[in-house]
Amino acid sequence: MLILHNLPFPWKVKKVNLLLASYIFYAAWNPPFILLLWLSTVIDFFVGRALYTQPNKNKRHLLLVVSLIGNLGMLCFFKYGTFLLDNFVLICNALGFDYHPAHPNIILPAGISFYTFTTLCYTVDMYKRKSEPVKSLLDFSLFVTFFPHLVAGPIVRPPQLVPQFETPRKASKQQLTNGLLLLTLGLFMKVVLADSLLSATADAVFGFPGKLGALDAWTGVLAFSGQIFFDFAGYSTAAIGVALCLGFVLPQNFLYPYAAIGFSDFWRRWHITLSSWLRDYLYIPLGGNRQGNFKTYINIMITMLIGGLWHGANWTFVAWGGLHGLYLWAERALNYHKSSTTPLMGNSSEPMISTASIVPGLSSAKMNNGFLKALLTFLLVCITWVFFRSTTFGGAWQLLGDMFGGQAGNPPLLTTIAIIKVAVVITLMLIFHWLMRGTTVLKVAGRIPSWSVALIWSAMLILIILSQESSKSFIYFQF
């Protein structure tokens, strides 16, 4: 693809090549589901244009409903169809009705949550007339299906990507170098750190049916906290790197979230494109923090519950989102006495990430205190990961009980080597996040000697090659 993109073809031909490559990339998983991509793309392109130009208010409402039904209906059927049916059957049986329908065999299309949100924000923006409609169906199709972000994000919006398709683009030498570096870093995070060093320990603990000692329980949860970060941030980093190799810039999706001081800070750093999407298209339309303190708490909780459900059709994901909502409630209550505070979900007009605005005046005298607060935030986030990773509430409660009341007499599950390995990886991760919380890898790479970058880069490549026994798919592919 990189070779074709750099050949002297007309720009339209190069865009067609990118579009075909994106369809082939998606079809490699399950070809028939390309029809869903086409359906979503065509409906939202023409509905979005009509929404922008239609002067009749009632017709505009109807067009928006068509888009919502097309996008959310498709998402609900494929992702939540079985979940809704199972809960309906449960309710019927609880009420005394003996109802046992055939169990549907619904396959979840890869990345449906991501590209549904990508197209949905376009029609909502057209309804609000925030920007002009995309002129070319080719550009809009490429925006929706551009392969680096297609199946696991970042969740892009039209103004972030469509203008880049309007004029010829080719990576400069610096962009190509940076892109390859980010691609290598992303693969290193996924293959070496997530899969080779952490996943086995997390799987062993979360899959163990019996009682665990506190050390084993905490080690498994810490392993998963690192695994899910390195897995998802690894994919996002690789996706941004691949796009940069082609001359395109995708939005940042992670900014060292385990260095967050508090939970509003965490959600400005973790899965940034999703949290900003939920802020702009759910939290603020619900009223944000503009309708009094009580309504603000309700809006925060609704946003976090839906954010949890977005991740998967299981009540444990809802509990994960609800627990983050409770954390945000507690944080807001503790900060309520301050005369001016940053809204927990941010403002649509302010940058999503700004270390200076998150922790104003953070001097060296406050660094130790800030690190302790970040460590506390991390440990509380780890508790939420128990619900995210567990498939049942019973398993989640048992593991939480083991974490906080595990008996030392229980036979150890993990080897000493496994515990040390997780402890070293997580400790280094937390230190690295804290040191990097106000900068980026590319900025640091630009400041240090080139031989240092080459040495680190070579080491990552060697470790990736040595870890090729890993064959796990990315965790967020299931969402």
Asked which of 27-36, 189-198, 292-301 is least confident by mean pLDDT, the reply is 27-36
458, pLDDT greater than 50: yes
Q: Whole-angstrom Cα distance, residue 130 to residue 132?
A: 7
pLDDT of residue 361: 42
409, pLDDT greater than 60: yes
Q: Whole-angstrom Cα distance, residue 209 to residue 215?
A: 16
Q: Whole-angstrom Cα distance, residue 265 to residue 354?
A: 10
Asked which of 105-114, 292-301, 460-469 is least confident by mean pLDDT, the reply is 105-114
* pLDDT, tens only, 102-133: 777 777 777 888 888 899 999 999 999 888 89
Burial classification of residue 262, based on how many CB atoms lie within 10 Å of its CB (0-12 exposed, 13-18 middle, 19 or more buried): buried
pLDDT of residue 242: 95
Q: Whole-angstrom Cα distance, residue 216 to residue 270?
A: 26
pTM: 0.89
307, pLDDT greater than 90: yes
* pLDDT, tens only, 164-186: 998 898 899 999 999 999 999 99
Question: Binning pLDDT at 50, 70 and 90, where does residue 469 land?
Answer: low
pLDDT of residue 346: 46
Please report, for residues 270, 285, 449, the alpha-carbon distance to residue 442 in angstroms, rounded to integers and kept in the order given.
19, 35, 13
Question: Binning pLDDT at 50, 70 and 90, where does residue 348 land?
Answer: very low
pLDDT > 90 in the chain, percent: 57
- Which of 217-221, 290-294, 369-373: highest mean pLDDT? 217-221
* pLDDT, tens only, 270-279: 999 999 999 9
Question: Binning pLDDT at 50, 70 and 90, where does residue 338 land?
Answer: low
Question: Binning pLDDT at 50, 70 and 90, where does residue 98 land?
Answer: confident
Give the mean pLDDT of 209-215: 89
Give the mean pLDDT of 144-153: 88
Q: Are 342 and 264 in contact (CB under 8 A)?
A: yes
What's the mean per-residue pLDDT of the chain?
Answer: 87
- Torsion angle (degrees, nearest 10) of CA 437, 255, 275, 230: -120
Question: Binning pLDDT at 50, 70 and 90, where does residue 460 land?
Answer: very high
367, pLDDT greater than 80: no
Q: Are 167 and 59 in contact (CB under 8 A)?
A: no
Nearest to 384 by CA among 152, 261, 190, 224: 224
Tokens of 286: 């619900």
The secondary structure of 62-107, three-state, reads HHHHHHHHHHHHHHHHHHHHHHHHHHHHHHHHHCCCCCCCCCCCCC
pLDDT of residue 197: 93
CB atoms within 10 A of CB 222: 25
Q: How far is CA 70 from the centre of its chain?
A: 23
79, pLDDT greater than 70: yes
The answer to whether 311 is a known catalytic residue is yes
pLDDT of residue 103: 75
* pLDDT, tens only, 159-169: 999 999 988 98
* pLDDT, tens only, 417-443: 999 999 999 999 999 999 999 899 999
251, pLDDT greater than 90: yes
74, pLDDT greater than 70: yes
Which residue did the predictor score with more confidence, 123 or 477?
123
pLDDT of residue 468: 65
CB atoms within 10 A of CB 252: 16
Give the mean pLDDT of 339-354: 40
Q: Whole-angstrom Cα distance, residue 111 to residue 477?
A: 6
Please report, for residues 29, 395, 438, the alpha-carbon distance to residue 317 in angstroms, rounded to integers and kept in the order given.
25, 13, 30
Please report, for residues 1, 3, 392, the alpha-carbon distance to residue 176 in angstroms, rounded to integers and kept in the order given.
14, 12, 45
Which residue did the predictor score with more confidence, 84 or 58?
58
Question: Binning pLDDT at 50, 70 and 90, where does residue 356 land?
Answer: very low
Q: Whole-angstrom Cα distance, residue 108 to residue 472?
A: 18
343, pLDDT greater than 80: no
Please provide residue 165's backbone torsions phi and psi, each rounded to the nearest 5 degrees. -90, -10
84, pLDDT greater than 90: no
pLDDT of residue 351: 34
CB atoms within 10 A of CB 154: 25
pLDDT of residue 353: 33
- Active-site residue, from 5, 271, 311, 433: 311
pLDDT of residue 107: 76
Question: Binning pLDDT at 50, 70 and 90, where does residue 355 land?
Answer: very low
